[in-house]
Structure 1
């Protein structure tokens, strides 16, 4: 397995430590896509130990870029001279306006990701997971988990596929959970040395709950299934808790617009903002509260930012729905068409509701 660095210049401020581990350098490999990746295998993987806070007046910088730098470490000096020159000078414009704090960084524990990790040799598994989650790696602290099958699954499934089981008596985690995702999540948390902020997202309800009786395509949740679908979320949280895993958050639906597209090809279920508002206010929110999950962060939308701020307004202008909502989840697939001002507009309307980027995929 290979890990590509962030294509960005990162200025990082760290807490101090008494000593700093040596950083193992990237072993580059070029696959002909215009840049390089760092090789990570059973015998070697580059590291990024938690740095020691630099001395006063200096900044520690890590650079990864398309030219091939991978966490290239340099130190810069601060300067209050606007006319100062030189590559070793760092300048900052300090903002007095506070916006939102950074929750963290992470990735997705999908069925496919877990299987590919577990198909590696044990040593390669450990090095790869360490490179993402351990103090000698990226220190990821967030993980997204698909609730049932998704487009990164090798089959279509939910946890209650028995026709008409509104009582969810057949609800059960699947091998994709017990044999793949859960073991990888536990190993990641052990390497991190702390619980991860895990959040779950459903791609579809059981097909018998839907208007089209299918996992895919144009179809929505039947209105008479609003409460069973809310109960399904609680059962998911309960079953994972029984496996020793607790969730920091939930999203209401992965890409709810997909289920309103004709012939959409992978697991989906359509919602309008008004439908989501009603379900959150009358079913999901009260059900989570009733079962002791009021502390779980509930995020709406989980789709593209061009749907903001209208989607947020439709849901959060209802005070009943708003009392259950903590955040707004966004994806990046139309960012080239819609600028970040949509996020600013939404934040200004609802400053107490966080905005979290929950999906960004290239494949």
Structure 2
């Protein structure tokens, strides 16, 4: 057996975060095994990467509550590909979301005033915490791609007159398209390139206790086709436009948008709060030239930690990747001991951050989401291409990629209620056999030299 590097999370709540060398116990040839076969000749999507969001709340906690030493160590553990888990996609709110300390857009006005020329536009709010953290993240990992999504247009553009609920008024479609251009240009002035935007976060959800904006499929198609994309072209902006940005249970929405604005849309963004990841493939089969992205999924108190919650992130992450997604992005990078801060009037939050930062004690805790993301992001690097992986037993879940250095990364999860013996075969050759505990994740990296295998 080869000597293996272990970096493993187990479903019983034990987190092995130290890397060490260990011999795996050989499995007798007559023992029943589940075979996972990797075929590098069958290829699928190219990865952008894995990540989360520097919401206003997350950025405040990391930049203002942590001390310099804590912040430096955390940023390294999040973004450094060698010393950390190498997160490479950041999807941030354009203005306030539910996880912000107050309501704000980039062009707030007194009631009944308008600003068609956006003379009051400013990203000064983001310059305090969010932009410095984005810049530091890019220093640690230059391969990071930035995405942006608004929870609401400025209130004066909407039927509600507020960032809470309402729809975008038709007469402000051009001003809103200009708003996106100003945001992209302002961020670019700080050395931050916006890789992709969506016109609206969760456009079919209109909560009354945090920023939101209803945007049905036909209006979104109209806005993208006749205002947003032409504005990008006029201003020489090559930022990608992703439609939808909502749950798997309404694939009809992106299908409608793509039918009406196919040439102007680069892909579809998905969330996991309803439906099944197979919706990604359903739309991909109709519009195979459009990118698939998973842009938001939060863990929280609705699934008990550790095993159930950890298993859910790993299991669902594998499904997301097997259904053509180029990204796997969770929600808040950091929340406090009360799962906040949240906007005034939000009530009790049940979401979980990638890390928890206690505002009273300043204690920093890495949550199960950090370790779940690590199983993907540590070895599946940007521009990796998904390759075929099949398992002889459905409860041994797998996904595999070939990195640009030609190394092969495989993520496995035992969803069975008992330990299973597993054999991983690459191109028909027995590479490795091992015992995989119930509800445990294992990530394997096979380098150019086939005998050089590391397991995470």
Which band: TM-score by shorter chain? Answer: 0.7 to 0.9
Q: 2:235 and 2:174 mapped to 1: Cα distance?
A: 14
Is 1:200 paired with 2:137?
A: no
Q: 1:97 and 1:174 mapped to 2: Cα distance?
A: 47
Is 1:171 paired with 2:101?
A: no
Say if 1:161 and 1:96 are closer, same or farther in 2 by CA, change over 3 A.
Answer: same
Q: 2:277 and 2:40 mapped to 1: Cα distance?
A: 18
- Displacement of 1:71: 4.8
Of 48, 63, 66, the residue aligned with 2:11 is 66
Of 189, 205, 213, the residue aligned with 2:138 is 189
The C-alpha deviation readout for 1:190-234, integer Å capped at 9, x for no partner, is: 122x152001110111111001111113x1000111110000000
> What number of residue pairs does the alignment pair up?
292
Q: 1:76 and 1:99 mapped to 2: Cα distance?
A: 33
Secondary structure at the aligned position of 2:105 is classed as coil
What TM-score results when the alignment is normalised by the length of structure 1?
A: 0.74
Q: Which structure is higher in strand share?
A: 2
- Displacement of 1:84: 6.0
* Structure 1: runs of 5+ lacking an equivalent: 1-54
Say if 1:285 and 1:58 are closer, same or farther in 2 by CA, change over 3 A.
Answer: farther
Q: 2:290 and 2:172 mapped to 1: Cα distance?
A: 28
Is 1:209 paired with 2:157?
A: yes
Secondary structure at the aligned position of 2:236 is classed as coil
- Displacement of 1:264: 2.5
Write the mapping of 1:308-319 to structure 2, written as runs, cut at 5 A: 308=251, 310-318=252-260
* Structure 2: runs of 5+ lacking an equivalent: 300-350, 352-456
| Greater RCO, 1 or 2 (C-alpha within 8 Å, sep 6+) | 2
Which residue of structure 2 aligns with residue 31 of structure 1? none
Is 1:238 paired with 2:185?
A: yes
Which residue of structure 1 aligns with residue 248 of structure 2? 305
Secondary structure at the aligned position of 1:98 is classed as strand
The C-alpha deviation readout for 1:42-92, integer Å capped at 9, x for no partner, is: xxxxxxxxxxxxx9x888664323311335767899x9x9966489x9742
Say if 1:290 and 1:82 are closer, same or farther in 2 by CA, change over 3 A.
Answer: farther
Which residue of structure 2 aligns with residue 38 of structure 1? none
Q: 1:286 and 1:353 mapped to 2: Cα distance?
A: 19
Q: 2:23 and 2:31 mapped to 1: Cα distance?
A: 12
Of 336, 340, 348, the residue aligned with 2:285 is 348
Q: 1:58 and 1:94 mapped to 2: Cα distance?
A: 24
Q: 1:252 and 1:276 mapped to 2: Cα distance?
A: 7
Secondary structure at the aligned position of 2:37 is classed as coil
Of 329, 332, 346, the residue aligned with 2:272 is 332
Which residue of structure 1 aligns with residue 315 of structure 2? none
The C-alpha deviation readout for 1:19-57, integer Å capped at 9, x for no partner, is: xxxxxxxxxxxxxxxxxxxxxxxxxxxxxxxxxxxx9x8
